[in-house]
Amino acid sequence: MNLRRVRAVARKEFLHIRRDPRSLGMAIAIPMLMLMLFGYALTLDVDNVPIAVWDQSGSPDSRELVSRFDGSRYFAVRLRATGYAGIERAIESGTVLAAVVVPRDFSSLLAGSRAAPVQFLIDGSDSNTASIALGYAEGVARAYSRDVAARAAGIGGERSMPEPIEVRSRVWFNADRESKNYIIPGLIAVIMMVIAAMLTSLTVAKEWEQGTMEQLISTPVTSRELLLGKLVPYFALGMLDVVLAVGMGEFLFHVPLRGSLFLLFGMAAVFLAGGLSLGMLISIVTRSQLVASQLAIVLTFLPAFLLSGFVYAIGNMPVVIQGFTYAIPARYLVVILMGIYLKGVGITVLWMDAAMLAAFGAAVVALADRKFRKKLM
C-alpha cells in the first residue's frame, strides 16, 4: 500500500467536503440537532402526573391522604371532582391521567381499625407511564397506611410493632434516577451509527453517477488505497461529531462521565471504522445515491434505535429478535458507553463488547474491500 496515493485520495475527498458546505454543515448540525431534540424531548421520568380527586368523605383523614398525593413530586391535583362523570370526562379529554376516589365512610373505617379501600383510576393508553404512576400511587398509600397504623397504636397505648422486613434501598450509578443520564450515552451511539453510514453511503455512488469512477480506475491507485483514502476524511469528520456529542453531554446536559475519556474515544474510533465501512459497502453495492441514502437509514437508524437495547430492553424481546440483536453493532456501543459514563468501568469489564465491536468493524472493512475490488477489476 502506497501511503502517498492514500494521502492524495484523502486530500481529494477533503476538497470535495470543503466545497460542499451544505453537506458539511448537515454532517455537523444533524448530530447536534438530534442530541438536542431527543435529549430534551425523550425522557422516561414521570413527574407531576395530573390527577383528579373525588373526596366523598371530606374528613380530616381523607384530606390528609389527598394532601399526600398533592404534596408529592410525582402528582399534581388538577381537578376536584364531584362524581364519576366528571372524572371520566377529564380522563377522556387528557386533562388528567388518573383519579383518586375516597369513599364516604373512609374516616369511620379507619377509626374502627378496618381496611378503608381507596380507588385509583388511571388511563392505561400509555402503559409505561400508567405502570410507573400506579407504583407511585401505591407508595403514597403505603406510607399513609403505616402512619395511620402507628398513630392508632400510640393512641391505644400499644407499642407499635416494627415491620418484619425493612428494605433499605440504594441506587447505584444513577442515584437521582434521571433518565437523561441514561438517554444521552445511548443517543450518542445511535447518532454515531446513523452519521457514520450516511457520511460514506454516497461517496462511491456519486463517483459512478458523475462518471469520475472510470478516471479513478485508470490511475495507479489500488482499490484498497482508494477505499482507505475515501474513509480517512469521513473518519476525521465522524470523530469531530463524537467530540461535539460528548461536549454537549458534559456541558449542556451535565451527564456524569465517570470513566476513561481515552477509552471512550478509542471505542468510538473502532465503531466509526465499522460504521463508515458499512456506508461505503452500501454505496459500492447500490451505485445510486438515492438508493444508498434510503438503504443506509433502514440498515442503521431503525436497528440502532429499536434493537440496540437503548429504548427497549433486549431481554423483553422475542428470542428470535434477541438473536438478531447480536448483529447490531450499536448494541455493544450502548453497553460500552453506559459502562464508561455511569459506572466508570474499564476494558477489563467491557472487553467482550469491545471485542464484538472490533470483530464487526473488521468484518465490514474486509467485505467492503472485497466488493470494492470487484468493482475496479
Q: From first to last of its 377 residues, what are the pLDDT tens digits of the chain? A: 778 888 888 888 888 778 777 777 777 888 888 888 877 777 666 778 999 999 999 999 899 999 999 988 889 999 999 999 999 999 988 899 999 999 998 888 888 777 788 999 999 877 778 888 888 898 888 888 888 877 777 655 455 545 444 455 566 788 777 778 888 898 888 888 888 887 788 777 777 777 777 677 777 778 788 888 888 888 998 899 999 999 999 998 889 899 999 999 999 999 999 998 898 888 888 878 788 888 888 888 888 888 898 888 888 789 999 999 999 999 999 999 999 998 999 999 999 999 999 999 999 988 888 887 645 44
**What's the rounded Cα separation, in Å, for the pair 15 and 230?**
11
- Taking each helix axis from N to C end, the angle separating 180-200 and 289-306, rounded to the nearest 10 degrees, works out to 160
Does residue 279 contact residue 196 with C-beta atoms inside 8 Å? yes
Answer yes or no: do 292 and 367 share one domain: yes
Examine residue 201 and state whether it is found in any structural domain, yes or no: yes
Residue 203 confidence (pLDDT): 76
Compute the distance between CA of residue 182 and CA of residue 338 in angstroms, rounded to an integer. Answer: 7
One domain, residues 369 and 263: yes
Separation CA 274–CA 288 (nearest Å): 21
Identify whether 369 is part of a domain. Answer: yes
Looking at the structure, do residues 247 and 341 belong to the same domain, yes or no?
yes
Q: What is the CATH number of the domain that holds 145?
A: 3.40.1710.10
Are 148 and 241 contained in the same domain? no
Question: Cβ-count burial of 82 within 10 angstroms (0-12 exposed, 13-18 middle, 19+ buried)?
Answer: exposed
Let me know: does 54 contact 102? Beta carbons within 8 Å.
yes
Whether residue 145 is found in the same domain as residue 56: yes
Backbone φ and ψ for 75, nearest 5 degrees, come out as -130, 155
Are residues 38 and 63 located together in one domain of the fold? no
Examine the fold and report which residue of 155, 188, 219 is the final residue of a domain before the chain moves on: 155
Q: Distance between CA 85 and CA 79 in Å, rounded?
A: 13
**Under a CB-based contact definition with an 8 Å cutoff, are residues 282 and 299 in contact?**
yes
* Same domain as 214, residue 248: yes
Are residues 304 and 346 located together in one domain of the fold?
yes
Q: In what order do the strands lie in the sheet with 119-122?
A: 75-80, 49-55, 98-102, 119-122
- Asked, for residue 260, whether it belongs to a domain, the answer is yes
Tell me: do 297 and 149 sit in the same domain. no
CA distance 311 to 186: 8
| Residue 170 included in any domain | no
Task: Write down the pLDDT at residue 44.
Answer: 66
Nine-digit cell string for 105: 365512610
Number of folded domains in the chain?
Answer: 2
In the DSSP assignment, the letter for residue 316 is: G
Classify 149 as helix, strand or coil: helix
Per-residue cell: 280: 461505503
Name the domain boundary from 123, 155, 187.
155
Q: Which residues form the domain of 343? A: 3-43+178-376
Distance CA 197, CA 218 (A): 27
Q: Tell me which DSSP letter residue 340 carries.
A: I
Compute the CA torsion angle 321, 322, 324, 327 (nearest 10 deg): 150
Task: State residue 165's pLDDT score.
Answer: 47
Both 338 and 206 in one domain: the answer is: yes
User: In the listed set 91, 121, 155, which residue is the last one of a domain according to the structure?
Assistant: 155
Measured CA to CA, the distance from residue 361 to residue 267 in angstroms comes to 11
Position 358 scores a pLDDT of: 94
- Residue 131 inside a domain? The answer is yes
What pLDDT score was predicted for residue 224? 81
Considering the domain architecture, whether residues 9 and 93 belong to the same structural domain is answered as no
Q: Are residues 124 and 151 in the same domain?
A: yes
CA triplet 279, 281, 287: central angle to 5 degrees?
Answer: 95
Residue 233, in any domain of the structure:
yes
Asked if residue 168 is part of any domain, the answer here is: no
Asked if residue 166 is part of any domain, the answer here is no
C-alpha torsion angle, residues 83, 87, 92, 95 (rounded to 10): 140
